[in-house]
Structure 1
Amino acid sequence: MSVFNTSKLEISTFFLIGIPGMEHAHIWVSIPICLMYLIAILGNCTILFFIKTETSLHEPMYYFLCMLTFSDLGLSISSLPTMLRIFLFNATGISSDACFAQEFFIHAFSAMESSVLFIMSVDRFIAIYNPLRYTSILTSDRVVKVGLVFAAMSISVVLPFPFILKRLKFCKKSLLSHSYCLHQDVMKLACSDNRVNIIYGFFVALLSILYLVCISVSYMLILKIVMGIASHKGRLKVLNTCVSHICAVLIFYVPIITLAALHRFAKNVSPVIRVIIADIFLLVPPLMNPIVYSVKSQQIRNLVLAKLCQK
């Protein structure tokens, strides 16, 4: 009988979920999800292509946009395999090693996106505070170095995640609560001591909140400068340069904050709502950021329209 005692067996396969209660409609749900992934990957690749090939876009702001686009592509590609397997083929199983690898990449690219959004807020502050010295302060070499440093920091911060999960034993539960693997989701299934995971996960979450606080401080300083501009038209012109970045910040952070609030204050809320918001976190930013920047950036918009007219 001990062979069938699940408390003695160590689990090597986890099971993800699609949308609870809508398993029969997963094939139909897969259609908009596939379209969202396709548009996101196509849109981000288009942005990268134009920034690489057009010398007029070889400016600090667009280099940072290139980093944001790379992070969005990473988020899309990291979650694409499991999401499509679930909704297209109803294949919910994932090995522990594959799950740990996926959660590493999702957290790494999420951390990278947080850091890039922070860098972009500093970029906007410098451009507004000291526009005459903007290009001399943010030279191409400095932009590359800053990008590499923050990318290395993002990877270093989440690198321990797979290893501290690997040391845990999973022997009772194997059903995860999202359509992809996350550190905080996986560690809750452990039947061994996971205090190290909880403490380190809290530390990483604090870093993300710190980035958001720094972004908020940057915009407070920007607003202070804008309020000092005499003309109403001048204020609007300056603020218009920040609209794309503000939209990117909201698109990225609103689902995270909403999901955290639901877990903390609305524990009885329907699992469907939690799953949908968690999926929005990975699907919407890579989809919307290229659209927002293409619409709001006149240079990118003109290049895209010119290319379409040629076609």
Structure 2
Amino acid sequence: MSTDLTSEGAVVAAARKVLATEAQALQLLSDHLPADFEAAVRLILSARGRVIVSGIGKSGHIGNKIAATFASTGTPSFFVHASEASHGDLGMITEADIVLLISNSGETQELGDVLAHSKRFSIPLIAISSRLDSTLMKAADCKLLLPPAPEACPMGLAPTTSTTLTLALGDALAVALMEEREFKAEHFRTFHPGGKLGAQLSTVTQLMHGKDALPLVDINTPMDEVLIEMTSKGFGTAGVLQDGRLVGIVSDGDLRRNMAKLMQSTAGEVATMNPVTVPPDMLAAEALALMNTRKITTLFVVAEGAPIGILHLHDLLRAGVA
């Protein structure tokens, strides 16, 4: 199939124009953050219930994503379709909740029943719109005004820039809320237990082998007994203890380096002392990075100097961390 270079150039130019238009709009939003932004964050933080997000059409799709981002980052939230709300789903919205309504024009008729419901039961209302004088914005307790920016659509009709701005504003709210709640990686994993992200947010203690699997010998153990321990536990290494504390490890590399006098030596004479270890609460992804940096495949997990587990590279691979 022949390629029209002129047409290809026009396609690329069109794409760049869209991206430049939306990038400029995002910068405009950053420079003119809505005056009520912090008030909206404080309002959400004070909520006894959830953040109920609603919209219609493209605004509805964006609202769905905002609600999902809230919910996964520590702010209880869900999306209510505006049309379904008019047919019974208004019952999902309680007086303990906060309503976030999205409408670029601020005059979306389908939001009328949700708006009326929030006013009837004195439910706090946050609005995202590009028109300050719209019905929606006049009714809102917190007004998140989008800056005047052209749609990237050449006809200026299809929601493009406006939906990008709304999505970005939702992300800004979610991240601000995360920081105010001091939401950390271990909390994030609670809402993301599956897939690669969940694996990367696992902690060492969730993936390690426990005490029963540990290959351990005393510092004075003869090397013939050390070899038996290394072979029986199957990790290719043994931890060396002194007074219950891990003071060294014997690895395959240590065996090769001491081959000439190996069977006349003790564990302490062969071991690499002061080994690299990890705490049980370290993220698995951090443990993997440490393995890669130190070019090792096994890490002992230590608490207060004593070994409590062992983590192998294969454990990380099986869990999907790598």
Return the TM-score normalized by structure 2: 0.24
TM-score by length of 1: 0.24
* Relative contact order higher in (CA < 8 Å, ≥ 6 apart): 1
Structure having the larger proportion of residues in strand: 2
